Protein backbone atom coordinates (compact mmCIF):
# COMPACT_ATOMS: atom_id res chain seq x y z
CA UNK A 1 0.00 0.00 0.00
CA UNK A 2 1.68 3.16 -1.18
CA UNK A 3 -0.38 5.35 1.14
CA UNK A 4 1.25 3.83 4.22
CA UNK A 5 4.74 4.79 3.08
CA UNK A 6 3.90 8.34 2.04
CA UNK A 7 4.96 11.36 4.01
CA UNK A 8 2.61 14.20 4.73
CA UNK A 9 3.07 17.89 5.31
CA UNK A 10 0.68 19.81 7.55
CA UNK A 11 0.27 23.39 6.31
CA UNK A 12 -2.33 26.17 6.27
CA UNK A 13 -5.19 25.49 3.86
CA UNK A 14 -5.28 27.37 0.56
CA UNK A 15 -8.14 28.00 -1.86
CA UNK A 16 -6.29 25.80 -4.36
CA UNK A 17 -6.82 22.82 -1.99
CA UNK A 18 -10.60 22.84 -2.58
CA UNK A 19 -10.57 20.45 -5.54
CA UNK A 20 -8.40 17.80 -3.92
CA UNK A 21 -10.31 18.06 -0.62
CA UNK A 22 -13.53 17.47 -2.52
CA UNK A 23 -12.01 14.47 -4.29
CA UNK A 24 -10.40 12.89 -1.21
CA UNK A 25 -12.61 13.94 1.72
CA UNK A 26 -15.89 15.58 0.72
CA UNK A 27 -17.18 14.06 -2.52
CA UNK A 28 -20.73 14.66 -1.29
CA UNK A 29 -20.24 18.42 -0.85
CA UNK A 30 -20.71 21.02 -3.57
CA UNK A 31 -17.46 22.70 -4.68
CA UNK A 32 -18.89 26.09 -3.64
CA UNK A 33 -19.49 24.82 -0.10
CA UNK A 34 -15.87 23.71 0.24
CA UNK A 35 -14.57 26.97 -1.20
CA UNK A 36 -16.73 28.95 1.26
CA UNK A 37 -15.38 26.91 4.19
CA UNK A 38 -11.80 27.53 3.08
CA UNK A 39 -12.48 31.24 2.55
CA UNK A 40 -14.04 31.54 6.03
CA UNK A 41 -11.07 29.64 7.46
CA UNK A 42 -8.58 31.98 5.84
CA UNK A 43 -10.47 35.04 7.16
CA UNK A 44 -10.38 33.62 10.69
CA UNK A 45 -6.59 33.24 10.37
CA UNK A 46 -6.18 36.77 9.01
CA UNK A 47 -8.00 38.15 12.06
CA UNK A 48 -6.10 35.99 14.57
CA UNK A 49 -9.23 34.00 15.40
CA UNK A 50 -8.33 30.59 14.03
CA UNK A 51 -6.44 28.41 11.61
CA UNK A 52 -7.33 25.85 8.98
CA UNK A 53 -4.79 23.23 8.02
CA UNK A 54 -4.52 20.40 5.53
CA UNK A 55 -2.37 17.30 5.30
CA UNK A 56 -0.75 17.23 1.88
CA UNK A 57 0.70 14.12 0.29
CA UNK A 58 4.07 14.14 -1.47
CA UNK A 59 2.25 14.61 -4.80
CA UNK A 60 0.57 17.81 -3.51
CA UNK A 61 -2.89 16.32 -2.94
CA UNK A 62 -4.67 17.47 0.22
CA UNK A 63 -6.11 14.43 1.98
CA UNK A 64 -7.13 15.79 5.41
CA UNK A 65 -8.46 18.99 6.95
CA UNK A 66 -8.95 20.52 10.37
CA UNK A 67 -10.22 23.90 11.57
CA UNK A 68 -9.48 25.84 14.75
CA UNK A 69 -11.95 28.60 15.66
CA UNK A 70 -11.37 30.90 18.63
CA UNK A 71 -14.61 31.84 20.38
CA UNK A 72 -14.91 34.28 23.32
CA UNK A 73 -14.56 31.63 26.07
CA UNK A 74 -12.71 28.79 24.36
CA UNK A 75 -11.47 27.50 21.02
CA UNK A 76 -12.90 24.62 19.03
CA UNK A 77 -11.38 22.12 16.63
CA UNK A 78 -14.00 21.24 14.02
CA UNK A 79 -14.47 19.82 10.55
CA UNK A 80 -11.64 17.36 11.19
CA UNK A 81 -11.51 14.78 8.44
CA UNK A 82 -8.89 12.36 7.15
CA UNK A 83 -9.54 10.62 3.84
CA UNK A 84 -10.38 6.95 4.49
CA UNK A 85 -7.25 5.41 2.87
CA UNK A 86 -5.01 7.58 5.07
CA UNK A 87 -6.61 6.95 8.46
CA UNK A 88 -4.55 5.27 11.15
CA UNK A 89 -1.28 6.86 10.02
CA UNK A 90 -1.10 9.65 12.57
CA UNK A 91 -2.43 12.40 10.32
CA UNK A 92 -5.33 13.25 12.64
CA UNK A 93 -2.91 13.41 15.56
CA UNK A 94 -0.60 15.72 13.59
CA UNK A 95 -3.48 18.04 12.68
CA UNK A 96 -4.79 18.19 16.25
CA UNK A 97 -1.25 18.83 17.54
CA UNK A 98 -0.73 21.66 15.04
CA UNK A 99 -4.09 23.24 15.87
CA UNK A 100 -3.42 22.89 19.62
CA UNK A 101 -0.09 24.67 19.20
CA UNK A 102 -1.86 27.44 17.27
CA UNK A 103 -4.49 27.74 20.03
CA UNK A 104 -1.76 28.11 22.66
CA UNK A 105 -0.09 30.78 20.52
CA UNK A 106 -3.40 32.65 20.35
CA UNK A 107 -3.69 32.62 24.14
CA UNK A 108 -6.48 30.05 24.34
CA UNK A 109 -6.89 28.40 27.73
CA UNK A 110 -9.56 25.80 26.88
CA UNK A 111 -9.75 23.77 23.68
CA UNK A 112 -12.83 21.77 22.69
CA UNK A 113 -13.52 19.06 20.11
CA UNK A 114 -16.73 17.22 19.35
CA UNK A 115 -17.22 13.65 18.21
CA UNK A 116 -20.26 11.65 17.25
CA UNK A 117 -20.61 8.77 19.68
CA UNK A 118 -20.96 6.55 16.60
CA UNK A 119 -17.23 7.21 15.94
CA UNK A 120 -15.40 5.32 18.73
CA UNK A 121 -12.06 5.46 16.90
CA UNK A 122 -12.01 9.29 16.91
CA UNK A 123 -13.23 9.34 20.51
CA UNK A 124 -10.34 7.10 21.58
CA UNK A 125 -7.88 9.35 19.71
CA UNK A 126 -9.15 12.52 21.37
CA UNK A 127 -9.00 10.96 24.81
CA UNK A 128 -5.46 9.69 24.14
CA UNK A 129 -4.45 13.30 23.29
CA UNK A 130 -5.62 14.54 26.70
CA UNK A 131 -9.16 15.66 25.96
CA UNK A 132 -11.72 14.82 28.67
CA UNK A 133 -15.48 14.41 28.40
CA UNK A 134 -17.46 17.61 28.93
CA UNK A 135 -21.05 17.36 27.65
CA UNK A 136 -23.24 15.49 25.17
CA UNK A 137 -25.82 17.07 22.89
CA UNK A 138 -27.89 15.77 19.99
CA UNK A 139 -26.90 17.27 16.63
CA UNK A 140 -27.87 16.57 13.05
CA UNK A 141 -24.61 15.81 11.26
CA UNK A 142 -26.38 15.03 8.00
CA UNK A 143 -28.18 11.79 8.81
CA UNK A 144 -30.61 12.95 11.50
CA UNK A 145 -29.98 13.78 15.14
CA UNK A 146 -27.33 11.77 16.95
CA UNK A 147 -25.45 12.19 20.23
CA UNK A 148 -22.24 14.23 19.98
CA UNK A 149 -19.81 14.26 22.88
CA UNK A 150 -17.78 17.42 23.40
CA UNK A 151 -14.41 16.96 25.04
CA UNK A 152 -12.19 19.68 26.46
CA UNK A 153 -8.51 20.15 27.17
CA UNK A 154 -6.95 22.83 29.35
CA UNK A 155 -3.97 24.51 27.68
CA UNK A 156 -0.91 26.13 29.14
CA UNK A 157 -0.28 29.79 28.47
CA UNK A 158 2.35 30.53 25.80
CA UNK A 159 5.89 31.10 27.06
CA UNK A 160 7.50 34.49 26.52
Instruction: Convert the pLDDT of each residue in 97-107 to its tens digit.
Output: 999 999 999 99
160: in domain: no
Number of structural domains (the chain) is 1
Q: In what order do the strands lie in the sheet with 8-12?
A: 8-12, 50-57, 62-70, 75-82, 110-116, 145-154, 132-140
Instruction: Convert the pLDDT of each residue in 26-56 to its tens digit.
Output: 999 999 999 999 999 999 999 999 999 999 9
Q: How confident is the model at residue 77 (pLDDT cuts 50, 70, 90)?
A: very high
pLDDT above 60 for 135? yes
32: in domain: yes
* pLDDT above 90: percentage of residues in the chain: 84
- For position 89, which CATH number holds? 3.40.630.30
Mean pLDDT for the stretch of residues 141-152: 89
pLDDT the model gives residue 139: 87
Q: How confident is the model at residue 159 (pLDDT cuts 50, 70, 90)?
A: low
Mean pLDDT for the stretch of residues 103-132: 95
pLDDT above 90 for 136? yes
Domain that includes residue 86, residue range: 2-154
159: in domain: no
Amino acid sequence: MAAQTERFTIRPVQISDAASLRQTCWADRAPETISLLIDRTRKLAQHGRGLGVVAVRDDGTACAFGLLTVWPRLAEISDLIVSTPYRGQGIGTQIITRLTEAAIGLGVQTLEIGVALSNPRALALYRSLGFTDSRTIDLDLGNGAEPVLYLQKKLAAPRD
